[in-house]
């Protein structure tokens, strides 16, 4: 966001500051997957970009959220999109909703299929 990497706040005070700054802003999240076939040496790589637009937040909303989601301090931008953090989000633009949580599963399935692995 704003050309800056934010990371994980790791404590409550940092999470509060981070969420106040990110309020109403657009954030780009990146996650990646690499699959290496050690038999053939084939490597497939993908970096996934997910854009999240945050709602306008006030201090009370942020405090309530962090009280109910204390482990959010260990999440990128203090945002647990799969839980109550979804209430802080106005919009998500993504080709794979799993990527925001940490792994671009859709692309991983494609990579495995390319290597002849049937996942179903």
As a whole number of angstroms, the distance between CA 54 and CA 43 comes to: 35
The reply to whether 82 falls in a domain is yes
The number of angstroms, rounded, from the C-alpha of 8 to the middle of its chain's C-alpha atoms is 11
Q: What is the mean pLDDT of the chain?
A: 96
As a whole number of angstroms, the distance between CA 120 and CA 112 comes to: 11
Across the range 68-82, mean pLDDT stands at 94
- For the cut 90, the answer to whether the pLDDT of residue 82 exceeds it is no
Pairing label, strands 26-36, 89-93: unpaired
What percentage of the chain reaches a pLDDT higher than 90?
92
Across the strands, what pairs with 92?
Answer: 52
CATH number at residue 45: 3.90.950.10
Q: Based on the structure, what is the number of domains in the chain?
A: 1
The reply to whether 118 falls in a domain is no
- For the cut 90, the answer to whether the pLDDT of residue 2 exceeds it is no
pTM listed for this prediction = 0.89
The reply to whether 3 falls in a domain is no
The reply to whether 1 falls in a domain is no
- For the cut 90, the answer to whether the pLDDT of residue 40 exceeds it is yes
Q: Domain range holding 105? A: 12-113
Concatenate the DSSP letters of all residues of 38-66 into one string: TTT--EEEEEEEEEEEEPP--HHHHHHHH
């Amino acid at each position: 966001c704003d050309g800056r990497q934010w990371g994980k706040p790791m404590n409550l005070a940092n999470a509060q500051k981070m969420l106040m700054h990110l309020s109403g802003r657009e954030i780009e999240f990146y996650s990646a997957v690499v699959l290496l076939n050690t038999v053939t040496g084939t490597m497939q790589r993908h970096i996934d970009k997910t854009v999240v637009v945050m709602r306008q937040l006030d201090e009370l909303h942020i405090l309530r959220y962090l009280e109910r989601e204390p482990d959010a301090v260990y999440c990128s931008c203090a945002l647990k999109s799969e839980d109550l953090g979804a209430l802080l989000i106005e919009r998500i633009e993504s080709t794979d909703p799993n990527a925001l949580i940490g792994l671009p599963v859709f692309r991983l399935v494609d990579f495995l299929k390319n290597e002849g692995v049937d996942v179903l």
